[in-house]
Structure 1
Amino acid sequence: MIKLTVNGHEHELETEPDTPLLYVLRDELALSGAKFGCGLGQCGACTVMLDGKAVFSCLTPLLLAAGKNVTTVEGLGTLEAPGPLQRAFIEEQAAQCGYCIAGMMMRAQALLVKNSSPTDAEIRAAMEPNLCRCGTHMRILRAIKRAAALIKTADAGAAGRARP
């Protein structure tokens, strides 16, 4: 039995420990955000966060995710209440075909968790492992910068409300 926490929900799985995390997310937990792209960790369509770090779920065995927090794009928000990064991607129209976007968002989220004010160069470096064949790279970069601003604004508003 392997225990896995995904988007804040704990699961007990009777799955082979060497099964790629991507297969568990999609096939057993019905989370279809992470996509199978290349299966070799070369495209990033399967990117999720493992304890706050971006990983290729197609290369990550279930056993390595056990006991850690897994976050998928579904954990960033909902259709009714998208998170700041999701809102920014929508507002910047960063998705074209949509295949790479979940992985892009997860890599961007990992960056923003680590660095809330990334420079253009830092964004480009962080996003380099993920590919977009449609060519919306400039929109994706703008969306990440917009998300950073949205998060700062939300944090500032929360801090202001917390003061007596």
Structure 2
Amino acid sequence: MSDWEGSSTARVVPPARPRKLAKVPFVELADGRLQGVVSSGSDAGRVYVSSVAAGDYAFACSTNNNRPCGGARGSFCNHIGALITEAVLQYGGVRVARYLRVETAAVEPAAHDIATAMRATGPAKGDSKAAAQVFSRFLRHLAYLELAATTAPLPEMQWFPPTRAVA
């Protein structure tokens, strides 16, 4: 067992390439979806919670107030396009394509290759039930940015219970 496998912390995978957080401040591959928060292009106070499901590419996009995105009618909206682009920057095209189960001819697929392959299957409009969970995780990440720098442990970050010696 390597040192990191026996610790209570997880390895942080560095981004494939640096990305700008203004347009897509939060992106993750979780819960069988590519999901995240995308800033509105027209209103600085509005964000969209967007997601694409792995396998069937069912997509959802709504505001943080659960109002549906006007551009997500029958196909991916610009918010989902931006989410895919930023996910490729964060995780790399191969990892995003593998997670979403997208088959492309490209060895290192770009965001355009992934989106085109998904559109070719005719993705269905999904439900936005996960939007509240995604937005909540985003807000929790923002709260950590406001904490003062310290080396003391944070109770909410201690995921594993203390181990007891077994006699």
Instruction: Name the larger-Rg structure.
Output: 2
**TM-score normalised by L of structure 1:** 0.26
> So what's the TM-score if we normalise by structure 2?
0.26
Higher helix fraction: Structure 1 or Structure 2? Answer: 1
